[in-house]
């Protein structure tokens, strides 16, 4: 069993807020992250897949294909976008890094299986000081 990780990046705007909270409540719970005029990040995404090395090719998965899949299904939809307003797979969801990591898992799990590997971890950095990891359950 070998684990392979591919890093991709995207820059996006977002805010933390709940529609069922008043502005005051949003500010109290989420602080400056709830700014109605948005703020943004350079997100770093690490997708880890696992599986057996293919005896035919000598590797587990074609990294070009993995990178292409992550771009088409994830980063092209997030890059230079507003996560709250414009990202189909985040529609109706809370735009925290935690929820985003879980949504990215849903977005690519089946496609990675189709490439012959298993999705192991979605790791998402919001800044140099904060990141989340999701293992699918």
Q: Which residues bind a copy of itself (CB under 8 A)?
A: 1-9, 11-14, 16, 18, 29-33, 35, 37-42, 48, 53, 57-60, 63-64, 67, 79-82, 85-86, 94, 96-99, 101-102, 127-135, 137
Q: Is 80 in the active site? A: yes
Q: Is 121 in the active site? A: no
Beta pairing partners, 39: 14
Residue with tokens 């990040």: 41
Instruction: Give me the catalytic one of 28, 39, 80, 106.
Output: 80
Cα angle 52, 108, 67 (rounded to 5 degrees) comes to 70
59 in the Ramachandran plot: left (φ > 0), alpha (ψ -120 to 50) or beta? beta
Based on CB atoms, which residue is closest to a copy of itself, 6 or 73?
6
Active-site amino acid positions: 33, 80, 126
């Amino acid at each position: 069993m070998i684990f392979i990780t591919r890093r991709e990046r995207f820059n996006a705007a977002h805010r933390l807020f709940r529609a069922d909270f008043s502005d005051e409540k949003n500010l109290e719970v989420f602080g400056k992250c709830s700014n109605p005029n948005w703020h943004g990040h350079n997100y770093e995404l690490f997708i880890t897949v696992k599986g057996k090395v293919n005896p035919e090719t000598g590797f587990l998965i074609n990294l070009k294909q993995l990178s292409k899949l992550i771009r088409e299904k994830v980063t092209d939809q997030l890059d230079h976008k507003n996560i709250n307003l414009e990202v189909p797979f985040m529609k109706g969801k809370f735009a925290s890094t935690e929820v985003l990591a879980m949504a990215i898992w849903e977005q690519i799990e089946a496609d990675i299986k189709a490439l012959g590997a298993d999705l192991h971890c979605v790791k998402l950095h919001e800044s140099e000081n904060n990141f989340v990891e999701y293992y699918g359950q």
